[in-house]
Structure 1
């Protein structure tokens, strides 16, 4: 029985059924999905294109660094079934993937339905049964004293709910409280007023941690890949600190003072104001706003700052495109070679129920699902 019809559940079910067939054994594999449709998060991943995985050319160590929680424990599983293996797996299912400049990999169709069809087709050919609208309300451990074995008694109903955390705890696991690991920053500063929708392609920011990457100014503050990575890697520091104490510092990549001096020496008359010389990494509109609000100085003063305190984080905003959760079953309670519980032998975990989460941009979370699902399925089958 596989509880959950997501990417990890489907991978585990397919590989368990395949391995059983390879060994000449009969194994009935059934996926129980609480909602009306399977692979819902695959459908919306990558804006509907499905960011299947990250750059297969990178080393296992580099790929593992994309996981704020799970970095070291995933080294082994990724070495056994990593991005290159995932690429080959989908190729055998008739899916060709392409790699983009930032390392993200998508089906050449740019349509997540391609991945859903491949997984559903593989499951059907492996004789995996799939039941939707089947919620697992409870899982009980049943011990057979005569045969010295164990089994599980599963109670189901036709409703949708996330109860996996509850029954995993009931079976003896001490779960890390699940919390959203991706969120945007709410910042109320005059310098950002009227700039919603403005994107900064490459910026260096510090909020507990430092991060480089694209940032998007929103109606409520800041979003974009760099902000989401900051929220993921600094998650528990943010939880420990009061958010208003977290200061967003923008590192300005300004023209050097020597460049300023040479420009000033070539020009006739008074030195132009600072706002006429945008930084190397900021859009002109944002730089002018900063200059007008805070930095009314000219180049001749050479009073060029290296950082700008953008403001304090006043709250968290929801990141609705891809909801990623930190927390779950602690990895020390799991045998990472086969994803089997060390607390309850015969119980396997994969995907979101594990205390693993990856940065949002790059396909890291789906890679974790493929990797842990494959390990659980091959060992169980």
Structure 2
């Protein structure tokens, strides 16, 4: 079993254990133990031409058997063994695993409304993504013990949400009473995607893999919209940073480095989603990304149509960040003074998001860019320096600091 196959089977194996009556938290621990055992056996054996790892005809069945045994071992050693005997009964004989796919149910469980976004992300990466606690901790740059506590709390939170389906024996775990909706699941996946890359786990690629998996399980235009958006953004990844790690703005990116295959795939998925005439925020964002991807340069971008899409997106979300991005598009479509006027109008209509107490993220950077294009270098330099102080990460702060220094040198 290669690593990708092992990880892809994790949600199905977990779902089988839960349907057999296992508590979610204990079942998830058992599945993790089975995954670790699979990786150990795979690394201990000499590689085969097919990289199949252990001589297993039914990898899913092998994982189910190992996970179930680990679960039974843990259950039998627990003080509540007798109380749980009605659930575990006797150990099933090893054999082909059921073909039922519980992945979709696990997506919704991991996006349960009682979980915080950070807990939902961590639980999704472990239960659906098959990542280890160490890998998730590395990706989020936190101690492994901290991530283990976060995952443990999340597992125990969702372990108590089962209800019995009609006609089931008392105590039988069935569907979940308050699973997260599709919008919550998509927000979790988008959070994972935006973390990008850190450590030995490429979270952007992992989010795309999980979203593809969700798209295969559910026919929903916003699932397709998010997948298209991810592919279109990921297509520009190689051009986003210079060899020294510094940020490269969209206008300065080498578009020859953009992945045309990902762009074509994203556009195709987006077109199919838009044909359903059920517009949502991820489809609108993907349409904007597609217009950027379609242009040979910033100057050739259809900024007028991008403004129109931002109008649609603002109606769908009423987000101050979306409205700020619309200001940038207006500045490109109609000139910097039109952009500055739109920025002033945004401030007037949303005073609570423009003051020092609750600033819109990157507002100063947008204002600096528009003032520079309008020829006011002194104001632009001051605003770039202000934006650098508010930057959410080191790379962005360095980029904005260099912009301020560049303009100060020209004065």
More helix by share: 2
Q: TM-score, normalized by length of structure 1?
A: 0.23
More strand by share: 1
Structure scoring higher RCO (CA < 8 A, sep ≥ 6) equals 1
